[in-house]
Amino acid sequence: MSPTDNPTDDGVDDERRVWMLAQMLRIREFEERVKRTFTEHPGVIRGHTHLADGAEASIVGSLAAIGEGDQLMATYRCHGYPIVLGTEPRRMMAEIYGRSTGLCKGYGGSMHLADPRRGFLGTSGIVAQNIPQATGVAYAAQVRRAGQVVLCFFGDGATKQGAFHESLNIASLWKLPIVYVMENNNYNVVTRSDQEDANAAAGEPLSIKATAYSMPGVTVDGGDPIAVHDTVATAVARARAGAGPTLVESKVYRLSAHGNIIAPPGVPLHFPEHEAVQVFGAVEEYEAAKRGDPIPRFRGTLVTGGVLTAAEADGLAGAARDEMAEAVEFGLASPLPKPEDALAYAEAS
């Protein structure tokens, strides 16, 4: 393949588009390997794991819009971000397996990945907890006058938390260099985001919440990496220029269930059916979402547009499979942490 260097109207050249597809494939394959581990290697992954399949275009499009030195924080559905930033998948897989060779030496697991050297400052298993933390990081960047921009990723459920509102308010008042990316995946565990009851998040689109804090609010198709890129790039440029934050609502559809099932001893951990099917019986809704899967959708766009051939696209998918198979092998072969190291990073009182 010989990518051209001719930018399109949206400023994303063909080489960058191919890179985007490759990253989306890598994220999907990594998470497929994580999901398969529950049945193929029972007991290897302990605790909860949450996948972001269906959000790959949103993740890649957003991260393609930041630059050297920029930083980000995410929630517990966090595997895709460090992969795009250049973190070794083998170390991520080892971390999810709780091994000493893991990204955080086995102390963090699936929901608490971090790679500060690459600008990935960490995640949280608590809904909305990362929003004030990322806002504080943006304040530090402003004080240092480092020219950095911070991306903060969270789900639509976080908009019901006080931390969301408090953070957006102070970020707007102080014109902090931050972009809030709300990945609206349609479901809060087993609650539809559009349900008209006390458990739903009021507002349609949810980006309208930005109005209360005097900042731009934009809703974008999270299944289109180019549209996400253009939207986030505009927000990043605004933040870097000192004009303050933006709230981006990226509408995606989570293709897996909320998370794995924690089963009794001796029963393999597994992922249940998606809530659309299991709880609401909305089989056609879920099948339509799978037909709109952003990866084959973007692949088709690139092949049809002559950016790459079908064989070249298949080659990218094959490379992703090989890379993540090696990550699984590395993780399984890695040693567990030593019991005597359990308190290695705990300060004595």
Look up residue 334 and give its amino acid: S
The side-by-side arrangement of strands in the sheet containing 217-221 is: 71-73, 150-155, 178-184, 246-251, 217-221
Query: What is the model's pLDDT at position 7?
Result: 39
Q: What is the CATH number of the domain that holds 255?
A: 3.40.50.970
Q: Per the domain annotation, does 185 fall within a domain?
A: yes
Q: Per the domain annotation, does 336 fall within a domain?
A: no
Query: What is the model's pLDDT at position 18?
Result: 98
Q: Per the domain annotation, does 2 fall within a domain?
A: no
Q: Per the domain annotation, does 121 fall within a domain?
A: yes
Q: Per the domain annotation, does 341 fall within a domain?
A: no
At how many degrees (to 10) do helices 130-144 and 162-173 cross?
20
Q: Per the domain annotation, does 47 fall within a domain?
A: yes
Query: What is the model's pLDDT at position 306?
Result: 98
Identify the helix (H) or strand (E) that includes residue 283.
helix 283-291
Asked if 294 contacts 57 with a C-beta cutoff of 8 angstroms, the reply is yes
Please give the tally of structural domains in the chain.
Answer: 1
Q: Per the domain annotation, does 152 fall within a domain?
A: yes
Domain that holds residue 310: 14-330
Query: What is the model's pLDDT at position 318?
Result: 98
Query: What is the model's pLDDT at position 6?
Result: 35
In a 10 Å sphere around its CB, with 0-12 CB exposed, 13-18 middle and 19+ buried, how is residue 342 labelled?
Answer: exposed
> Model-level pTM?
0.93
Average pLDDT for runs of 10 along the chain of length 349: 38 95 98 92 89 97 97 97 98 97 95 97 95 98 96 95 97 98 90 64 84 97 98 98 98 93 70 88 94 98 98 98 98 94 79
Q: Per the domain annotation, does 342 fall within a domain?
A: no
